[in-house]
Chains A and B, each alone.
Chain A
Amino acid sequence: MTCMGMKEKLSSYIDGSLPTDEKASIEEHIVSCVECRQYLSGLENTVRALRELEEVNPPPWMTGKIMARLRDENKESIFRRLFYPLHIKIPLEAAAIFMVSITAVYLFRAGERDMRPVMPLPLLPSAPVTEKSDSHAARHESSPEPPAIAKKNAERRPVPDKNMFDESRKEKSLPVETKIAPSPLIEAETEKREPSAQEAVQNIGKTEAPVDKMRDFRNIPEAPGRISSFSSVPAAPALAGKMLQKEAERSLSLRVNDIDAAFAHLKKTVTQSGGTVVSIEDREGGKQVRTVIPRKQLESFINEIEKEGEVTGKNDILSAILPEDQSIPLSIFLFRSK
């Protein structure tokens, strides 16, 4: 037997796991083989050194800690059962995300409604307004309008055809205004845009919506023709809630020398800009032309009509942030310049 094959057997020999005959032959071999004898001795010393390594004792807290962890584990396993196969976790997360989205949309919309009243409203040149509103009030009393016209007035923003300088109405309207625009930010903005007495005018228009009138005329059948297109114009603030998506009507005034020529040019310019004329009304000392102009053409449209005369109120429109791909309702007041 070679020494190489012998070494593995010597390991088993130490363990006493060899059959008797093999054991005898090994004992016989090591008597004569110095190398194997030395190897066996080294192996025996190694095993003895290993066996002499003393035992270590567990720390006294070990049992307690294991049992405590075991008891905790039951609680943990309920938690795990619920959350780890993700039976509850994923639906919970999904629900949470859903709720957050809904809340975000709601807040956004609520905020938008608050913002709505501060949109620029018809700006009237001071002199004609006074004159006009007085006469208008008179007309209201003297001659009842035919239903179609009345409805038109109702749907229209009430600013131009209300007796807006009535002090009692203004006072009534003021507390309401604070409800509509409670944010200081919004108020500041309003001031910035409308620093003059026209703010009061606006407030009348905004808050004193002719709601009663609206109700009265709601049942009146529509006049054929233009009413349908008219309805696309968000006019009465009472409808603001329903018309959030629509742009508020903007207004300009245009002082010209020749109203008829200017009116003809205006109509042409509206068509050229890709817009439409929604309504035309005669006013004391001029006309009110309601139009809808594509947002993209707005600047060039204003520039074009400026050729006819002096335009007031364009800055508010040009500085306002308007949606790019919508048409903007625009009311133009044509006045004869003095």
Chain B
Amino acid sequence: MKEPDNEHFLCDDLEQIALCRQGDKDAFEPLVRKYQKKMLNIAYRIIGDYDDACEAVQDALLSAYRNIGSFRGSALFSTWLYSITVNTARNRLKQVISKNRREETSLDTPILTDEGSMKIEPVSPDDSVLKRLEKEELRQAVQKCIDALELHSREIIVLRDIMGFSYEEIGEMLKIASGTVKSRIFRARDSLRNCLKNLVGEQA
């Protein structure tokens, strides 16, 4: 888990942040490298489109650099960054929805980008082709159901069940109380469960 690393991460980050505040653009690069993947995954699951997610992450990081002066040490830098990411992804998604092209891309893109990770995935040698097909089908169904969720639920399910953030971290990122986090998580899971049940039957 990431907990033991936090202290070290924080010190490291603060050094870079201080340099960035002095106008050292190069000091931002390690931060970009460190956080871009997680940011991309948040954005990708919220938006449902890889290219849009890449754009959103770029925008989020540039926005973070621009506003690095407003970062308070009270929160983790990562939490602050992810919060910006969620906001950027949300705005991007609104644009995408208004362009009405969400449904098509969200279903197709995961397959294109997942090929490598499908092999990395611990698949036992005994796994039949059928089972792998089932898994792929399930994955598609899950993404489809995420995309069908309303925006609040989508954000919270991504942060909690895909990214694995704690209630407190989520509360901080979304600026909501942890009671609200809990109930939103429940509602999102409930909707998702119903959706999956309809799509792939009782196995979900």
Q: Which residues of chain A have a CB within 8 Å of any CB of chain B? A: 7-8, 11-12, 15, 17, 42-43, 45-47, 49-59, 62-63, 65-67, 69-71, 73-74
Contact A11 B189 (CB under 8 A): yes
**When chains A and B are docked, how far (Å) is the Cα of A7 from the Cα of B189?**
10
Q: Which residue of B lies closest to A17 (CB)?
A: B167
Q: Does B3 contact A (CB under 8 A)?
A: no
Residues of chain A with a CB closer than 8 A to B61's CB = 66
Q: How many residues of B contact A (CB 8 A)?
A: 52
Residues of A near B135 (CB, < 8 A) are 52
Distance in Å: Cβ of B183 to nearest Cβ of chain A: 7
Q: Are B203 and A45 in contact (CB under 8 A)?
A: yes
User: From A45, which residue of chain B is reached at the shortest CB distance?
Assistant: B204
By beta carbon, the residue of chain A nearest B51 is A59
A49-B142, A63-B29 given as contacts; is B62 within 8 A of A70 (CB)? yes
What are the residues of chain B within 8 A of A52 when measuring CB–CB?
135, 139
Instruction: Point out the residues of chain A lying under 8 angstroms from B44, CB to CB.
Output: 56
**A contact face: mostly helix, strand, loop, or mixed:** helix
Min CB distance A278 to B, Å, is 77
Q: How far is the CB of A16 from the nearest CB of chain B, in Å?
A: 11
Q: B56: shortest Cβ distance to chain A, in Å?
A: 12
The complex places the Cα of A67 from the Cα of B121 at a distance, in Å, of: 32
Contact between A67 and B25, CB atoms less than 8 A apart: yes
Q: Is the pair B32, A66 in contact by a Cβ cutoff of 8 Å?
A: yes
Q: Which residues of A contact B50 (CB under 8 A)?
A: 56
0/1 string, B18-51, CB within 8 A of A gives 1 = 0000000110110011001100110011000010
3 nearest A-B residue pairs (beta carbon): A54-B117, A50-B161, A11-B186
List 12 interface pairs A-B (beta carbons < 8 Å), by A numbering.
A17-B182, A42-B196, A51-B161, A51-B162, A56-B114, A62-B58, A66-B57, A67-B28, A67-B29, A71-B25, A73-B65, A74-B25
Q: In the complex, are the beta carbons of A54 and B118 less than 8 A apart?
A: yes
B1 to chain A minimum Cβ distance, whole angstroms, is 13
Is B62 a contact of A66 with CB atoms below 8 Å?
Answer: yes
Decide if B193 is an interface residue (CB 8 Å cutoff): yes
Q: Is B185 at the interface (CB under 8 A from chain A)?
A: yes
Are B40 and A58 interface neighbours, CB within 8 A?
yes
- B179-204 near A? 1/0 per residue, CB < 8 Å: 00011011001101100110000011
The distance from the CB of A246 to the nearest CB of chain B, in whole angstroms, is 65
Q: Within the assembled complex, what's the spacing in Å between the Cα atoms of A52 and B132?
A: 13
Residue pair B54, A62 in contact (C-beta under 8 Å): yes
A51 neighbours in B (Cβ, 8 Å): 161-162, 164
Complex CA–CA separation, A12 to B193 (angstroms): 15
Which residues on the A side are within 8 Å of B11 (C-beta)? none
A53:B62 contact, CB within 8 angstroms:
no
Chain A residues within an 8 Å CB radius of B36: 58, 62-63, 66
Extra pairs beyond A15-B167, A43-B193, A57-B116 (10, CB < 8 Å): A42-B193, A50-B146, A51-B162, A57-B113, A58-B40, A63-B32, A65-B58, A67-B25, A67-B32, A73-B62
Residues of B within 8 A of A43 (CB): 189-190, 193
- B37 & A55 in contact (Cβ 8 Å cutoff): yes
Tell me the bound Cα distance from A43 to B189 in angstroms: 7
| A57 and B58 contact, Cβ closer than 8 Å, known pairs A8-B186, A45-B204, A46-B204 | no
C-alpha spacing A66/B113, complex, angstroms:
21
In the bound complex, residues from chain B placing their C-beta under 8 Å from that of A8 are 182-183, 186
Find out whether the CB atom of A54 lies under 8 angstroms from the CB atom of B189.
no
- Shortest C-beta distance, B89 to chain A (Å), equals 13
A74–B53 Cα distance when bound, in Å, is 24
Given A12-B182, A69-B58, A70-B28, does the pair A56, B161 have CB atoms closer than 8 Å? no
> Taking CB as reference atom, which chain A residue is nearest B146?
A50
Instruction: Give, as a whole number of angstroms, the nearest-CB distance from A103 to chain B.
Output: 42
A8 CA to B180 CA in the complex, in Å? 12
Query: Do A69 and B62 have beta carbons less than 8 Å apart?
Result: yes
Q: Which residue of A lies closest to B65 (CB)?
A: A70
Chain B residues whose C-beta falls within 8 Å of the C-beta of A56 in the assembled complex: 40-41, 44, 50, 53, 113-114, 117
